[in-house]
Amino acid sequence: MRKTHIPTAVKAVVDAKAARDAGDVALLQMVVEWAVEYRVDDSVVDDLTFGVDGVILGGVGCPLVDEFAAYDLAAVMGMSSEGGCGYIAKTLELRYRLRRIWEQVVALKVPVWKAFRVCEHTLTLSFEAARYVDQMLAPTLRSCSYAQIERTVAQAIDLYDPEEAERRRRKAADDRDFQIHLGQRNNPTDGTVDVTGTLSTEDALDLEAAVKQGAKTLGDLGCGKSLGARRSMAVGEMARQQLTLDLEAGGDTGGRGVVIYAHIDADSPHATLDNIGGGDVLIEQLKGWCQTAGTTVTIKPVIDLNQEISTSAYVPTAKLVEQVRLRDQCCVFPNCTRRAEHCDLDHRIPFNKNNPAAGGSTSTSNLSLLCRKHHRAKTFSTWTYTSPQPGVYDWTSPSGHRFRVTRGRRHGRMPVTTPLDDPPEP
């Protein structure tokens, strides 16, 4: 009896996949039409006219488009500005520089996601190198492996773009990074944080040797934890004691000096953190941090995030800056998660330097965090926003779409962007 339903179920899956693939292609074609409508002439870009500042979102040969309109489209698509611009860039790369692959995609012979994989490698290539990749991969892309795509791109660079080969080598060195994901704890009460990084080979070898030795020493001293746990603990010991890093020209380089803003309820076993990623930790964990050897504990007066603080000057006071950063945590633009330390404080209602009484105040209710990109969008385009209550922001895009940005302080939730209403009438 069960087998008789399988063909129907499989057909439904096939039909759904076909509809999804056709929808993906239709979306690509609509984005190309959007790019034509919001194309910016080179002369406008040369004049640096704010509000229609053109950007190249594909490789050389793709049209320039209105930067702030791109943020609008990204928000409508439910993407961050970076994600939306990346989608637009790969779409234009396909349409204008990888035309054979574009034809395969439109004919539903190659899935969009696989064509985008090629675009990720060709965006920075010269027009000739991109054309070579297009010619070589278009006939067989449907069955190509990722390794074959990368080999073809490498061949194109060697043949047509030696400067790009050198640029990529330098970029790989510049892109080395080390991230401690304080705001992305999978379980906010387990007391752990993910760490990722990209190191040069020699640095990685040195770090591995130090961590391996630290884990062995802990084991020799009687630590019964697993090897992975001891390796993790060894990194913590290195951070506290700086066993392998002494680059400071002067001053105290030892010990841990972290400022923590914790809200503690006498009836709860948890403390809510306002910084280092937000979220909850057990009070016992907080005590353990403070009691660890080499730790410097800094006690800060509690800042009431709902208190209205103001100054008559344009530049906010240190306490006001601290309050706004703790309240917003990151950029308040739709779908943006740029952290507070990389953001400007924006006067929602512009401050009038010549007549402060006629403009917006420098105050808790009139200041918000915006990263530099979205600060520009708010200042030089028709993006606008209001704040109906502290920590809640209602945005209106140049096309008339409206979005609400909110952030839950508990459990370290990142901002949530929600469409406020149906799309405006055409």
Query: Among 141, 174, 207, where does a domain finish?
Result: 174
- Residue 200's contacts (CB-CB under 8 Å, 6 or more residues apart) are 173, 176
**Which tokens sit at 325?**
């950063």
Q: Which residue has the tokens 């937000």?
A: 278
Residue 338's Cβ-side half-sphere holds a number of Cα atoms within 13 Å equal to: 22
Q: Does 43 share its domain with 153? A: yes
What is the H or E stretch that residue 271 is in? strand 270-273
* DSSP string across 273-297: ESSTT-EEEEHHHHHHHHHSTTEEE
Same domain, 278 and 381: no
* Same domain, yes or no: 160 and 57: yes
Q: What is the pLDDT of residue 247?
A: 47
Question: In terms of domains, do 348 and 268 share one?
Answer: no
- For the chain, 426 residues long, the average pLDDT of each consecutive 10-residue run is 65 89 94 93 50 72 90 94 95 95 96 95 92 95 92 90 78 82 62 84 83 90 90 85 51 53 59 54 64 59 74 88 88 91 91 72 91 93 91 92 78 72 56
Is residue 389 domain-shared with residue 294, that is, in the same domain?
no
Q: Give the span between the Cα atoms of 35 and 55, in whole angstroms.
A: 11
Q: Assess whether 298 and 367 both reside in one domain.
A: no
Half-sphere exposure of 296 (CA within 13 A, CB side): 12
Say yes or no: 396 and 286 in one domain. Answer: no
Is residue 401 included in any domain, yes or no?
A: yes
Residue 278 CB burial class (10 angstroms; 0-12, 13-18, ≥19): buried
Rounded Cα distance between 81 and 247, Å, is: 37
pLDDT value of position 289: 62
Co-location of 274 and 331 in the same domain: no
- What is the per-residue pLDDT for 425? 54
- Model-level pTM? 0.71
Q: Domain tally for the chain?
A: 3
Same domain, 265 and 133: no
φ, ψ for residue 21 (rounded to 5)?
-60, -40
Which among 219, 221, 197 has a CA at the least distance from the CA of 208?
Answer: 197
pLDDT value at position 92?
Answer: 95
Domain that holds residue 393: 310-419
Nearest Cα to Cα of residue 68 among 87, 92, 46, 40: 40
